[in-house]
Amino acid sequence: MNYMGSKYEGHYKNERMEGKGTYILPTGTRYEGEFKNGMFHGNGKMIFPNGGIFVGEWNSGKTTTGCFTFADGLQYSEENWTYCQYPDRRFWSEICNGLKPAGK
């Protein structure tokens, strides 16, 4: 199905997206996962054109839990987010490459 620039490939029930499938938005962002009653519902992942990936759980089109991983492998954490915070303000690539934080 192609709807307003979006594309869906997967299962249907009563002419609605239902079960497993892939939904591609006009921006190139892709959702792969479970659908119910035409909405994202259950486990799935959003894959963004820049390489970021959000893996989580949806309930009637809204996310309930999940984790975002940036293209470089950095995982976002809503709690205890310490990346690029005082006193260690290095970027993820600097941390991965073993660069030491700058002095005071």
pTM: 0.80
- When the pLDDT of each residue in the chain is averaged and rounded to a whole number, the result is 88
How many distinct structural domains can be found in the chain? Answer: 1
The pLDDT of residue 74: 87
Spell out where the chain has E strands. 2-3, 6-13, 16-24, 30-36, 39-47, 53-59, 62-69
Mean pLDDT confidence for 63-68: 93
95, part of any domain = no
Distance from C-alpha of 76 to C-alpha of 92, rounded to nearest angstrom: 11
82, part of any domain = no
The pLDDT of residue 82: 72
Tokens 């995982």: give the residue: 75
Distance from C-alpha of 58 to C-alpha of 64, rounded to nearest angstrom: 6
Q: Which of 66, 10, 65, 68 is nearest to 39 (CA)?
A: 10
Tell me the pLDDT band of 40, cut-offs 50, 70 and 90: very high
104, part of any domain = no
pLDDT higher than 90, residue 19: yes
Range of the domain at 13: 2-71
43, part of any domain = yes
Distance from C-alpha of 8 to C-alpha of 21, rounded to nearest angstrom: 7
pLDDT higher than 80, residue 12: yes
pLDDT higher than 60, residue 104: no
The pLDDT of residue 3: 63
- Bridge partners of 63, per DSSP, are 58
97, part of any domain = no
Give the residue with greater pLDDT, 1 vs 74: 74
88, part of any domain = no
Question: CA separation (Å) from 82 to 49, 50, 75?
Answer: 26, 23, 11
